[in-house]
Amino acid sequence: MTTAKEMNSQAMFRVVEKRRAYEDIVQQVIDLIEDGKLKRGDQIPSERDLTEIFKVSRTTVREAIHTLESMKLLQCRQGIGTYVLASSEKGLIQSLAAAHLIRKKAFATSSITEKLSTLIAQLTK
């Protein structure tokens, strides 16, 4: 039996979203670009510095940077540093739209592959 106090507590809290640490880093960088705190050409801290700032592994930082690179928000220059590519809201929107399309195409491709596999399995029976 659930008490009134337990029901009140349940109403106050919400289910947490399972997120990976690199996703939080990606979101923080996107927010900084949106807010204008990071602008085109700005250099972000080194991987080593970011691991200390975020209290995560270097692998996690690299995954976040690679994600932001694929979204065309950052550019890594080996031995030089990592720089912001998107500067305006328009640039950010274009980058996020491109990333969304890439994800959508990847999902569509895997969906098509699954359908083809099912069809082939049915034909070979």
Using the structure block, give the residue that is written with the tokens 């030089």: 80
Does the pLDDT at position 9 exceed 70?
no
Q: What 3-state class would DSSP assign to 20? A: coil
* Amino acid type, 84: V
Amino acid 93: pLDDT: 65
Per-residue pLDDT for 87 more than 70? Answer: no
**Which 3 state secondary structure label does DSSP give 82?**
strand
User: Where are the domains positioned within the chain?
Assistant: 19-123
* pLDDT tens-digit readout, 12-71: 676 656 678 888 898 899 888 888 888 899 999 999 999 999 999 999 999 999 999 988
Q: What is the dihedral of CA 88, 89, 92, 97, to 10 degrees?
A: -140
pLDDT in tens, 35-48: 888 889 999 999 99
Thinking of the domain 19-123, which architecture would CATH place it in? Answer: Orthogonal Bundle (1.10)
